[in-house]
Chain A
Amino acid sequence: MYQSFVGLEIHVQLKTETKVFCSCAANYGDEPNTNVCPVCLGYPGTLPAVNERALEMAYLVARSLNCDLAPVCHFDRKNYFYPDLPKDYQISQFHRPLGTKGYIDLEFRRNHKRVRIHEIHLEEDAGKMIHAGDMSLLDFNRAGTPLLEIVTEPDLEIGDEAEALLQELRRLVRYLGVCDGNMEEGSLRCDANVSVNLRGAGLGSKVEIKNMNSSRFVRKALTYEIARQQEVLERGGSIPQETRLWNENRDITETMRTKESAHDYRYFPEPDMPPFTADEAFLERVESRLVELPAPRRERFVSYYGLSQSQAEFLCDERATADFFEAAVTAGAAPDQAALWMAGDVQKWLNRAATTLTETALTPARLASLLSMLAHGRIHGKIAKQTLTRIFEEDTDAETIIQREGWEQIRDETVLGEFIDTVLSENTRAVDQLKAGDARPMGFLVGQVMKATAGRAEPQLLQELIRRKLDYNVIHVLSFGGAIAGRRQEDGLVVPGDLVDVHELFAGDPAVPDSLRFSEVQLGQFLSEEITPADWAALITTVNETITSANTGGVVIAHGTDTLSYTASLVYWFFSDAPVPIVLTASAVPGNAGGRSDAVDNLRASILVAAGEERGVHVVYGKDDFYPINLKFERAGYTAVARGAAGRAGRDEVAGDRSDFYAGVFRNWNKDGLRRSAPALAAEARELQRAELTSRLEEALSSVFVIKVYPGLSGDALISLMDAGVRYFILEIYDTGTANLRETPFSLRKAFDEGARRGVSFFCTSQQEGTVDFSEYVTAHELWRRGAIPMGVLTTESAFTRLVAAMLVCEDDRAVVHTMEEAE
């Protein structure tokens, strides 16, 4: 087993107005050689004079990275010849850097780590040389601009982690306002030191990697380099100490210079500048510039505003966005709504317009007032979206737009009540039908009132008022296969069937209120083990139509037991934000068994939950209201006796002791922290046409494979699947994340190596209840090192459906992986 050590040397260009040792403007993008003077051009006789603003920024970063701050620091000369280095030495810090012994906390794929900062020092940048034909051209605008070098200890292990660290550091310097953090333009640059050795043997020989011009290249280059070194060592070779360059065209690293030709920088103290003393006034200035950093701010957004981790990450990515959010909340917006809108429609508009939040006409106050109108029902969601677009386009506030457009909804109960009374009195037949138990006229009546108000009636309130006036509530029952809708034949076998007439079934049932009306939809005649992607597509589009229609009090999905944990979690990823309860249920015994079937009990319980107040997705079975994700079909209490008795011998025995019969059939794994209601992961995809959704589901399913790891599983099998087009594996591994990665055909090792080459992702769930976080065993850590993604508390079924849902809404593989990493 090998261990990899990665340390980074990160250069941060400080955004000072003037250069670090002279008073030239620090705008290196200007016309070449315009921001230069005798000092930064290295003219004879000139001397450096340190810019205290640069030192202030440097100390600020060091302070924010928890460094020990040097009370006195001095500069050293680093000697090397290069045409773009005016003095042929660089003024840097070597003997007494301004910051030492710091750290930054990092979380990558559930692995928490404190990456130590070895030192931070201030230095000057060089100019830029470009080769044009048989000439070399030099631009010294950048020469002498302040550069902060941050050197980490070799605490990182993999390329992905290095990328995450760079991104966090980028956020940090942007929060502090000392750098724009643009790697492509070179304002943030990174070199890396990589060493691989047998586990426990300490550091191996050090290889320096340069020329990585984006955080993505850092990840790719390090991933490549670690694998390369490991392969060399496995073959019995050794790694020479050298400097290598990342070749972004070939995706490999190549030798640049060996140890023998390494520079001897001959550091010695800079005699032209006295040591810098960080006195009290200076340190106070540094202290006054401290800001709340991204990491604590994210934590606060989760704990204080109750946002999800991913919402907090989104909002805190940029300080301006997080500030905007908090300002909107201060202006009265509900935190969850503000977060939802900012990550949703606001961001969509920004992407389309290719702009940033602060450059638009949307202010926190305008967003807050828009959301408050929505919350108070003065406008509905669709109008709110239109209003938002108008705010961006017209630079005015929501109130003005709504007044001018006449978009405000009628939500005065008295006014609406009058419209309703008129419509009801004019449509007595429809009213009678409703009273008789038919739900269908509801849509018609709502439509009539809408028409009467010229479309301005607030639909939810309107529905609520009609319901109240006529005293009824519509529950949509969707029949989606399974025994609950099936029939038992004479020979005892269960076959697919129609759902029983619910209205008839519960007529006179004292537990079911008379006010309920039922609308039944038959989605398919199959047993739940026969579900196809087309069936799922049909279910999703139907549920979507149902919850968006005006007359829905709740939805019940009658399903089978076998695949319920899949469908329930899939429904959750699509509809966790539903405005009404969505209840999945199932039965083991067909409904045509009448009062003696569990179908009737489960349906009744489901209908009551669906008619209740608790929005979100439920799974009702027996007396239990389960969470839709992490549902496990365990049959613990569902004994052969019960089944046999129910099936053939006689159903009376089943009816005798119902509680035993239901107990332990389903269970939620890792129940703590599960929710029914949340922003929906795949809300966009549910708007797709059924045929389109079907084909996208089929496509997604064709690139996913679920594998249960077992002793003797061969890596080659997985590689064959990759050949067949599988790009994502759900690996159900042992315990909290262990699997065999030894050098043997009966391990996953080859599959991981090959997968890394092909960009295949491995999402790991457990065969036992527990959290997969790779924290405990060295084999688990090895999985993490090799890029496996721990799925935390999610079960295989829920991880699988999350992956499918993610593939429908994500633009690329990276986004899919990120969505999976963010799983609760």
Chain B
Amino acid sequence: MWPKTLKNAPGQGNYLEFLARRDKSVGAFLHVTGSIRQNGGAPSDSGADGGNTCLEGVPVAVKDNIAVEGMPLTCGSRILEPLVSPYSATAVERLERAGARVVGKTNLDEFGMGSSTETSALGETNNPWDVSRVAGGSSGGSAAAVAARMVPVALGSDTGGSIRQPAAFCGVYGLKPTYGTVSRHGLVAYASSLEVIGAAAESVDVLEAAYAAMSGSDVMDQSSLDHPVPPPDSGATRIGFLGGELGLSPEVAENYARFVEALGDAGYETEEIALSTLEYVVPAYYTIASAEASANLARFNGVRYGHRTDYSENPEELIRKSRTEGFGSEVKNRIVLGTYVLRSGFQDQYYLRAQKIRTLIRREIERAFAGVDLICSPVFPTQAFPHGSKEMDAFQQKVADRFTGTANLAAIPALTVPSGLAGGLPVGMQFMAPPFGEGRLFAAARTIGEIFPVEFPPGMEPPWAADRE
């Protein structure tokens, strides 16, 4: 499936030059490697450990909140700008062992907090379809890199939709796996109980190959899991689609209707379902995510690594000033919110209540899957919006997370698939499956891909096209 051009040295220089050239208009990368390392220094034992040779030589971009040894790990934040990671994430190590080559680190909303990649302190990422628009977020750089044909697959992280929403904005596939199936070791924590490493990709094949290489339990992450044996049936016949008043833009609403219709055409039994917990997704999600973020981001204090203030009278002041200088306003906002909801005496009212809602959401999803094999819903109420959009301010972006947040709260897998263009911009729809139902997602994506094949921005030719047989 993948031409081997990039495997050997002669093509490299040209490829890296190509990346730099194309990224000028897109801004997907925060860092591009000086030379592509072979096997990441790890022994090539693709036979063992589920290695997948179909990734041999595949260039891969990594969201800059996932550790790659020897590369920066900025999380799009001033506070980690000086940091070079001393180790690689398990997911990265496994991909490299399967033959993939890390070519650079992609832009993101600061620490993954945002839906537009605009909260990044270190660069702006444009949508390859229309550079005046955002690529989505927080894994905007990864989705844009794939859409701009710079890499066939890019790692991202999904805390509340952070892979799926930019994948939809950019018209590519985006997988949020079952919580725990991909080790979080090496993923800079924002909301530990919600987030998972996944990927944006140009095809279902490369996405599935990457997922197969990355997944599986890891001693470095005690919350990681293996897929159960046997895995859930990959065939799906019944698909429930989220109905009712969903608050979609006219373009997305029209596209959604066509998509649901197409499901029927493809042979699926479809039925409209409602999720009564939908309106609680966003409050519960932000309460839990902020609470965990307030603890997870506490370690960035300027003492051991990262940004340190120029002068301080004492260690306490060093911490205070470094954090004040290093964090952006959206991050500070969520840290303060998280600290607030965790105060003793107020946990019942906020944090514990959010956890109860989370349990209700999980139960409702379980019940829903008793009747259908997959759930289909929009990813986001709108298509990619313009930079600095007034309609899509930070608050509206959060409200818009309601379709994606469910999968994170319920710890289930979900996949964004392209659903065609509207007004010259891509739209994406989402499938959700029961835990460990990734196979079911890939199968459905392939089926619907016959009707809605992936499309790329005009003029964005891949560097490897010439080599394609």
Residues of chain A touching chain B, judged by Cβ–Cβ distance below 8 Å, are: 38, 41-50, 77, 79, 81, 83, 86-89, 129, 136, 138, 140, 264-268, 271-274
Contacts and interface: CB of A to CB of B under 8 A. Distances in A.
Contact of A89 (B67, B186, B295): B295
B86 interface: yes
Contacts of A43: 85-87, 304-305
A79 B342 contact: yes
B299 interface: yes
B187 interface: yes
A49 B219 contact: yes
Contacts of A266: 294-295, 339, 342-344
B188 A81 contact: no
Interface in B129-185: 184-185
B187 A45 contact: yes
A459 B254 CA distance: 118
B461 interface: no
B89 A45 contact: yes
Given A41-B304, A44-B189, 18 more contacts: A42-B304, A45-B184, A47-B185, A47-B220, A47-B222, A49-B219, A49-B221, A49-B222, A83-B319, A88-B301, A140-B304, A264-B344, A266-B339, A268-B291, A268-B295, A271-B192, A271-B193, A272-B223
B284 interface: no
Contacts of B188: 44-45
Given A45-B66, A48-B222, A136-B314, A77 B295 contact: yes
A265 to B, nearest CB: 8
B304 A47 contact: no
Interface string B70-93: 000101000010010111010000
A46 B89 CA distance: 9
B292 interface: yes
B298 A79 contact: yes
Contacts of A267: 344
B343 A45 contact: no
B220 A81 contact: no
Nearest to A273: B222
Contacts of B301: 81, 83, 88
B220 A138 contact: no
Contacts of A272: 184, 189, 192, 221-223
A136 B192 CA distance: 32
22 contacts: A42-B304, A43-B85, A45-B65, A45-B186, A46-B186, A49-B220, A79-B294, A79-B298, A79-B342, A83-B318, A86-B299, A86-B304, A89-B298, A89-B299, A138-B303, A140-B304, A265-B344, A266-B339, A267-B344, A272-B184, A272-B192, A272-B221
A414 B315 CA distance: 86
B347 interface: yes
Contacts of B189: 44-45, 47, 272
B223 A274 contact: yes
Nearest to B74: A44
Contacts of B442: none
A87 B221 CA distance: 17
Given A45-B89, A48-B222, A266-B342, A88 B298 contact: yes
B155 to A, nearest CB: 13
Given A49-B219, A81-B319, A129-B315, A44 B67 contact: yes
B222 A88 contact: no
A46 B299 CA distance: 11
Contact of B83 (A44, A83, A274): A44
Contacts of A271: 192-193, 223, 292
Contacts of A77: 295
Which of B87, B185, B292, B303 has the most chain A CB atoms inside 10 A of its CB? B303
Interface in B46-85: 65-67, 73, 75, 80, 83, 85
Nearest to B88: A45
Given A44-B188, A268-B342, A38 B86 contact: yes
Nearest to B312: A136
Nearest to A79: B295
A46 B305 contact: no
Contacts of A81: 298, 301, 316, 319
Contacts of A50: 222
A89 to B, nearest CB: 5
Contacts of A47: 184-185, 189, 220-223
A22 to B, nearest CB: 9
Contacts of B319: 81, 83
Nearest to B79: A44
B403 interface: no
**Ranked 7 nearest A-B pairs via Cβ:** A88-B298, A266-B342, A271-B193, A271-B192, A83-B315, A44-B188, A42-B299
B456 interface: no
B285 interface: no
B351 interface: yes
A38 B295 contact: no
Nearest to B339: A266
A48 B295 CA distance: 14
A625 B255 CA distance: 114
Contacts of B192: 271-272
Nearest to B195: A271
Nearest to B224: A47
A43 B185 CA distance: 11
A413 B185 CA distance: 84
Interface string B294-331: 11001111011100000000111011000000000000
A215 B316 CA distance: 31
B185 A45 contact: yes
Contacts of B351: 268
A50 B66 CA distance: 22
Given A45-B89, A45-B188, A274-B223, A88 B318 contact: no
A87 B299 contact: yes
Contacts of A48: 222
Given A42-B304, A46-B185, A79-B342, A136 B315 contact: yes
A48 B221 CA distance: 7
B77 to A, nearest CB: 10
Given A266-B339, A268-B347, A45 B67 contact: yes
A41 B301 CA distance: 12
Contacts of B300: 44
A638 B300 CA distance: 89
Contacts of A273: 222-223
Which of A88, A89, A273 has the most chain B CB atoms inside 10 A of its CB? A88
Which of A43, A50, A81 has the most chain B CB atoms inside 10 A of its CB? A43
Contacts of B85: 43-45
A41 B303 CA distance: 10
Contacts of B67: 44-45
A272 B344 CA distance: 21
Contacts of B305: 43
Contacts of A87: 295, 298-299
A50 B347 CA distance: 26
A83 B319 CA distance: 8
Interface in B337-390: 339, 342-344, 347, 351
B409 to A, nearest CB: 13
A267 B295 CA distance: 10
A265 B347 CA distance: 12
A489 to B, nearest CB: 89
A136 B305 CA distance: 15
Nearest to B66: A45
Nearest to A81: B319
Interface in B107-130: none
